């Protein structure tokens, strides 16, 4: 096997690119060069000419700091990543950012860097593959049939999320998930023995994985055989433990932390060239290596085969084929706007005073009829989050992944990053629930969804002191505000059944933005609206009631505080004030409306009041420095919800007192 030359090309390209950028991580690509070259040239089913080839194997670089390994492989195997792109490593606007960024570079399946999450995304992709295969494959027609490969380092395996998702992957028996572990014994603080001496093989056996190795991660025959063994196992995920030397090829820095995250230096790079017997100048790769590495031809053949297969499938199952194409492309049904309007009408007609978490379940029930791509779940709070609709079936190995619902266990971060992976795979619209508080356990996965511009939906119930007796550890007072601060995050806190349906509809309509939907534990009063008002909900903030074209006072509220604001509004109206009541379930959606609309909702030079049972800071954006925010800048307490709302001033009487003081 002669992949050695490809491996050395990876080493040199990586070290050269880091050197030119004056920053980056040469150690990992040099250490995993053989593993990368064998996997990509001998096993990975992919088509460089069409990075989106539907039935491709998914490849995830969870140790994303080693991005030059991936860029080198993409370049050498024939993707649209040129040698000039490699020269532009880590430069503004390049295809080769410091960490692999989804959407920037062909062949990058997910954004990685925050350790452990790539592995979790991969688990999501493996779940999606199994479930999509079950749904669309037919006897003799395995149109969905691929592996998911992940590279991980010690850092990924130290992170807690690796435990969450690997334990789940083992339980679920994800046989087509193959992890290659770069066991190089080095992390940034040095030799890991002092902080990470667990027995990884035993740990993964405990998770019910097939454990292969330890193999010599620089021995191409061993790598090849181990991957082949992993592919033969169908009922358990596999991890291949690859003993490697970080920075291999660098005479003075191999095996040391020094090679991890800094350029090797000009002098050392010369020695690397000598060591590897690589006489070529920077960014020059001999033509024979390109030819050897090129996967364009084999990739085209793979895709042509699949296309032929799919053509037959299309004649035998035309509806299924159409649906498959729609689903894999994340296209909504054509009539989806009408669907939302039907849902709004239904919710409005029912006039139910229920918890918005229950209204959320009703919304899921409604949309599930129209969107078979819905893939639900909860981090062990199904009965509390109310995420499971009546016809949902649990997805597991026993039923060969017939279902589209997962009890993720108490694994909020893992679940959230898995949702990202399910979405990235294509074919599904994943959502998952937990208590709003535990969005904090998963926080960086939400950010990654926002950054990647993908659209999973995070369902958060029990949204404030309204959850009552469980106390301050579970009472979200600052979480709604902090979620609103994530760029490109669609955050909603609806006040009743109709706003809840609208929030779900809005979230499902978005293709490039994830959503956080925030719901109450307790019942919230149904609010009467005319049709025009209902249509305005989708603008994020809207006039719910107004007794004047030129109000003196505007009261803004969200969620459970809207009823309170309405009571206050009515009292103020009765006392002769000119008042406007605004419901603002989504500040981020309101913010992107045109100025005229926004100034109609919150006219300039009025006194503005905001009411929300949470931290106040952000509301000054709408009420100004001198506006009144009736909120809660402290933690809650354990007590029945009613007592808490009373104690913390969220009663009509107390709110009115504050407002009247404010108005003077």
**Please, which residue, 98 or 430, has the CB nearer to a second copy?**
98
- Compute and round to an integer the Cα radius of gyration of the chain: 27
Q: Which of 109, 164, 373, 412 is catalytic?
A: 412
Dihedral sign, Cα of residue 121, residue 126, residue 130, residue 133: positive
**Please, which residue, 262 or 578, has the CB nearer to a second copy?**
262
The least CB distance from residue 471 to a second copy, in Å, is 4
Q: Are 435 and 379 in contact (CB under 8 A)?
A: no
- Residue 94 binds a second copy (CB under 8 A): yes
- Residue 103 binds a second copy (CB under 8 A): no
Positions in 228-267 near a second copy (CB under 8 A): none
**Please, which residue, 484 or 529, has the CB nearer to a second copy?**
484
CA distances from 20 to 132, 289, 311 (A): 43, 22, 47
Query: Which one of 321-329, 361-369, 464-472, 499-507 is the stretch in contact with a second copy (CB under 8 A)?
Result: 464-472
Burial call 206-224: b when 16+ CB within 10 Å, e when fewer = ebbbbbbbbbebbbbebbb
Strands 210-216 and 457-461: unpaired
Q: Report DSSP letters for 92-127, one per residue.
A: TT-S--SS--TTTSTT--S---STTHHHHHHHHHHH
- For residues 33 and 217, give the distance between their C-alpha atoms in angstroms, rounded to a whole number: 9
Among positions 375, 431, 441, 542, the unique one binding a second copy when judged by CB under 8 A: 441
Whether the ω angle into residue 500 lies within 30 degrees of 0, i.e. cis, is no
**Please, which residue, 23 or 353, has the CB nearer to a second copy?**
23
Among positions 50, 80, 444, 509, the unique one binding a second copy when judged by CB under 8 A: 444
- Residue 523 binds a second copy (CB under 8 A): no
Residue with tokens 């949902």: 392
- Residue 437 binds a second copy (CB under 8 A): yes
- For residues 102 and 424, give the distance between their C-alpha atoms in angstroms, rounded to a whole number: 9
Among positions 205, 216, 365, 570, the unique one binding a second copy when judged by CB under 8 A: 205
Positions in 112-131 near a second copy (CB under 8 A): 112-115
412 labelled catalytic: yes
The least CB distance from residue 436 to a second copy, in Å, is 12
- Residue 468 binds a second copy (CB under 8 A): yes
> Percentage helix, strand, coil, to 5, in the chain?
45, 15, 40
Query: Which one of 131-139, 373-381, 456-464, 498-506 is the stretch in contact with a second copy (CB under 8 A)?
Result: 373-381
Positions in 159-188 near a second copy (CB under 8 A): 159-164, 167-168, 170-171, 187-188
The least CB distance from residue 248 to a second copy, in Å, is 21
- Residue 389 binds a second copy (CB under 8 A): no
- Residue 400 binds a second copy (CB under 8 A): no
Positions in 472-501 near a second copy (CB under 8 A): 472-474, 477-478, 481-482, 484-488
Q: Are 434 and 379 in contact (CB under 8 A)?
A: yes
- Residue 106 binds a second copy (CB under 8 A): no
Helix (H, G, I), strand (E, B) or coil at 67: helix
Positions in 609-628 near a second copy (CB under 8 A): 615, 617-618, 620-626
Among positions 142, 470, 578, 656, the unique one binding a second copy when judged by CB under 8 A: 470
The mark string for 571-610 relative to a second copy (x by CB under 8 A, - otherwise) is: ----------------------------------------
The least CB distance from residue 463 to a second copy, in Å, is 16
Q: What is the DSSP letter of 486?
A: S
Q: Are 137 and 144 in contact (CB under 8 A)?
A: yes
Q: How many CB atoms lie within 10 A of CB 294?
A: 15
**Please, which residue, 457 or 610, has the CB nearer to a second copy?**
610
Q: Are 314 and 321 in contact (CB under 8 A)?
A: yes
The least CB distance from residue 437 to a second copy, in Å, is 7
Among positions 81, 86, 177, 200, the unique one binding a second copy when judged by CB under 8 A: 200
Among positions 50, 137, 208, 509, the unique one binding a second copy when judged by CB under 8 A: 208
Contact partners, residue 92, CB within 8 Å, separation at least 6: none
Dihedral sign, Cα of residue 492, residue 494, residue 499, residue 504: positive
**Please, which residue, 331 or 633, has the CB nearer to a second copy?**
633
Strands 542-546 and 354-355: unpaired
**Please, which residue, 333 or 403, has the CB nearer to a second copy?**
403
**Please, which residue, 411 or 529, has the CB nearer to a second copy?**
411
**Please, which residue, 532 or 625, has the CB nearer to a second copy?**
625
End-to-end CA distance of the chain: 85
Among positions 16, 85, 101, 183, the unique one binding a second copy when judged by CB under 8 A: 101
Q: How many CB atoms lie within 10 A of CB 613?
A: 27
Positions in 9-68 near a second copy (CB under 8 A): 21, 23-24, 64-65
- Residue 203 binds a second copy (CB under 8 A): yes
**Please, which residue, 498 or 632, has the CB nearer to a second copy?**
632
- For residues 178 and 164, give the distance between their C-alpha atoms in angstroms, rounded to a whole number: 17
Contact partners, residue 179, CB within 8 Å, separation at least 6: 119, 122, 149, 150, 151, 152, 237, 238, 239, 240
- For residues 530 and 537, give the distance between their C-alpha atoms in angstroms, rounded to a whole number: 11
The least CB distance from residue 12 to a second copy, in Å, is 20
Q: Are 150 and 118 in contact (CB under 8 A)?
A: yes
Q: Could you give the residue numbers annotated as active site?
A: 412
């Amino acid at each position: 096997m002669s992949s050695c030359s490809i491996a050395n090309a990876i080493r040199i390209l990586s070290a050269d690119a880091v050197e030119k950028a004056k920053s980056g991580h040469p150690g990992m690509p040099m250490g995993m060069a053989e593993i990368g070259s064998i996997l990509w040239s001998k096993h990975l089913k992919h088509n460089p000419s069409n990075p989106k080839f539907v039935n491709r194997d998914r490849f995830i670089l969870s140790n994303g700091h080693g991005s030059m390994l991936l860029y080198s492989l993409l370049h050498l195997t024939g993707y649209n990543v040129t040698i000039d792109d490699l020269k532009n490593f880590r430069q503004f606007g390049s295809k080769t950012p410091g960490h692999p960024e989804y959407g920037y570079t062909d062949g990058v399946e997910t954004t990685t860097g925050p350790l452990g999450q790539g592995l979790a995304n991969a688990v999501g992709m493996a779940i999606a593959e199994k479930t999509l295969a079950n749904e669309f494959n037919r006897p003799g027609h395995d149109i969905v049939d691929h592996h998911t490969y992940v590279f991980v380092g010690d850092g990924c395996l130290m992170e807690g999320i690796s435990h969450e998702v690997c334990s789940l992957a083992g339980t679920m028996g994800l046989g087509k998930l193959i992890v290659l572990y770069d066991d190089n014994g080095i992390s940034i603080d040095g030799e890991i023995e002092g902080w990470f001496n667990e027995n990884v093989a035993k740990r993964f056996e405990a998770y019910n994985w097939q454990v292969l190795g330890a193999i010599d991660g620089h021995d191409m025959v061993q790598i090849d055989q181990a991957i082949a063994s992993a592919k033969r196992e169908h009922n358990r995920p596999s991890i291949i433990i690859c003993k490697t030397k970080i920075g291999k090829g660098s005479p003075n820095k191999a095996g040391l932390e020094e090679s991890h995250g800094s350029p090797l230096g000009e002098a050392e790079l010369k020695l690397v060239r000598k060591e590897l017997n690589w006489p070529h100048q920077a960014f020059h790769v001999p033509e024979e290596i390109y030819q050897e590495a090129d996967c364009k031809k084999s990739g085209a053949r793979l895709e042509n085969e699949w296309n032929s297969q799919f053509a037959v499938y299309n004649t035998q199952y035309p509806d299924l084929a159409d649906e498959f194409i729609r689903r894999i492309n994340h296209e909504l049904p054509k009539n989806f706007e009408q669907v939302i309007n039907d849902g709004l009408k239904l919710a409005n007609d029912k006039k139910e005073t229920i918890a918005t978490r229950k209204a959320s379940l009703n919304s899921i029930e409604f949309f599930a009829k129209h969107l078979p791509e819905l893939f639900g779940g909860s981090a062990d709070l199904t009965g509390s989050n109310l995420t499971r609709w009546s016809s949902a079936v649990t997805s597991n190995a026993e039923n060969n992944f017939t279902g589209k619902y997962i009890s993720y266990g108490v694994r909020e971060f893992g679940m959230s990053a898995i949702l990202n992976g399910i979405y990235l795979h294509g074919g599904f619209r994943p959502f998952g629930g937990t208590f709003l508080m535990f969005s904090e356990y998963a926080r960086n996965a939400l950010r990654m969804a926002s950054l990647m511009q993908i659209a999973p939906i995070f369902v958060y119930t029990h949204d404030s002191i309204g959850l009552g007796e469980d106390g301050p550890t579970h009472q979200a007072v600052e979480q709604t505000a902090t979620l609103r601060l994530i760029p490109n995050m669609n955050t909603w806190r609806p006040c009743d059944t109709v706003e809840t349906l609208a929030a779900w509809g809005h979230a499902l309509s978005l293709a490039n933005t994830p959503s956080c939907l925030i719901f109450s534990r307790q019942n919230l009063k149904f609010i009467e609206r005319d049709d025009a008002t209902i249509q305005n909900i989708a603008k994020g903030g809207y006039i719910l009631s107004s007794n004047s074209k030129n109000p003196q006072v505007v009261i803004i509220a969200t969620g459970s505080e809207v009823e309170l604001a309405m009571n206050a509004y009515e009292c103020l109206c009765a006392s002769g004030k000119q008042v406007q009541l605004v419901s603002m379930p989504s500040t981020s959606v309101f913010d992107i409306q045109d100025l005229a609309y926004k100034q109609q909702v919150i006219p300039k030079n009025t006194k503005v009041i905001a009411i929300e049972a949470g931290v106040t800071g952000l509301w000054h954006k709408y009420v100004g420095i001198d506006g009144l925010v009736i909120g809660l800048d402290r933690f809650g307490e354990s007590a029945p919800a009613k007592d808490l709302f009373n104690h913390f001033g969220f009663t009509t009487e107390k709110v009115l007192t504050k407002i009247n003081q404010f108005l003077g």
